[in-house]
Amino acid sequence: MKEIMDFARNLARKAGGLLAEKFTRHNPVYYKGTIDLVTEADKMSEELILAEISRRYPDHGILSEESAAKNEQASMRWIIDPLDGTTNYAHGFPFFCVSIALEKEGVVVLGVVYDPIRDDLFSAGLGSGAYLNGKKLHVSSVNDLSHSLLATGFPYDIRVSPDNNLNYFNVMVKKAQAIRRPGAAALDLAYLAAGRFDGFWELKLKPWDTAAGSLLVTEAGGVICDMAGEKWNLFSPGLVASNGLIHGQMMEALNSSPPLG
C-alpha cells in the first residue's frame, strides 16, 4: 500500500504542477453546458494522470470526469478529478485541486487531494488516518452549529432545476456562524478533515468530486451520510459531512428546510 500511496501522491503533485504552470497563462475554455465548462488544463492534467496509471497499473479500472470509463469490471479502480474547481481556475481564482482516489472492490482505500497553489498535499489510507504534508489530521472540536463554519456548493443546473440547494442554504445560513462557497468539493472535504471547516453539504456531486475527500473526512474522525441521514455512497444524490459533533444539528436544520420549487 505504501508503494501505491507514493505513486498517487507523486502523480497528484505532477498533475498539480502542470495546473499551476498553466494557471499563469491564457487557458482556453470550452462549455459543456450553459455554465458547465472545461479548460485545456483539465484535459492536459487528465491525459497525464491516465497515461501514468495505464503505464503503471494497466489492469486497473479508471473513472474520470472528462473521459470514458476504462476496465469497468476491474476489482481496483482509480477515481480521478484532474481539476476540481474548473470555474475558479478559468477565472483566475486560486482555489482548485487534483483529486485521486483508489477503490478496491467498491470500497475507497486511498485518497489524495493536492492544492498546488498552497502546496497542500492531503492524503488518507483506509484504516491509516488522514494527513496534510505528513502531519496527521483530525476534524474540529466545534460542537455548536451556531459557532460553526460550514461549506457548500451549488449544482451546475441551478438555473433550471428547483433542486438547487437554495432552500437548504437559506436555512443553514441563519443557523451557522458562517458559510463559505469556495467552489471545489474535494478541497472542501479536505478542509473539513483538517478542521478548517466544521461541516459540509452539497447536492448532485459525482464520484470524482467526493471519492478522495470522503475518505479524508472519515479517516480524520468525521462523519458522512446522505441528505436523508442514511448511509452514503459515491452515487448518492447528496452528501452531508461534519466533524460528528454538529452532525445531528446539521441534519435537523436541513430537514427543516421548506419544500423544493
What's the total number of domains in the chain?
2
Q: Which whole number is the average pLDDT over 32-48?
A: 77
Confidence of residue 26 (pLDDT cuts 50, 70, 90): low
Same-domain check for residues 86 and 180: no
Give residue 221's domain range.
Answer: 145-255
Q: Domain boundary at 136, 169, 186, which? A: 136
Q: Which three cell numbers stand for residue 58?
A: 494497466
- In tens, the pLDDT along 141-177 reads 999 999 999 999 998 888 888 889 999 999 999 999 9
pLDDT score of 261: 52
User: Could you give the 3-state DSSP secondary structure of residue 255?
Assistant: helix
Same-domain check for residues 76 and 102: yes
Same-domain check for residues 6 and 115: yes
Same-domain check for residues 157 and 113: no
CA proximity to 209, closest of 230, 229, 227, 234: 234
Confidence of residue 253 (pLDDT cuts 50, 70, 90): very high
For the chain, the residue count is 261
pLDDT score of 156: 84
Rounded distance between C-alpha atoms, residue 32 and residue 187, angstroms:
23
pTM of the model: 0.94
pLDDT score of 25: 62
Q: Which three cell numbers stand for residue 163?
A: 433542486
From residue 152, give the alpha-carbon distance in Å to each of 21, 45, 97, 192. Answer: 28, 25, 16, 11
User: Is residue 168 domain-resident?
Assistant: yes
Q: Which whole number is the average pLDDT over 235-249?
A: 97
Strand order of the β-sheet with 149-152 is 178-180, 149-152, 199-203, 238-242, 223-225
DSSP secondary structure code for residue 94 in this structure: S
Same-domain check for residues 39 and 111: yes
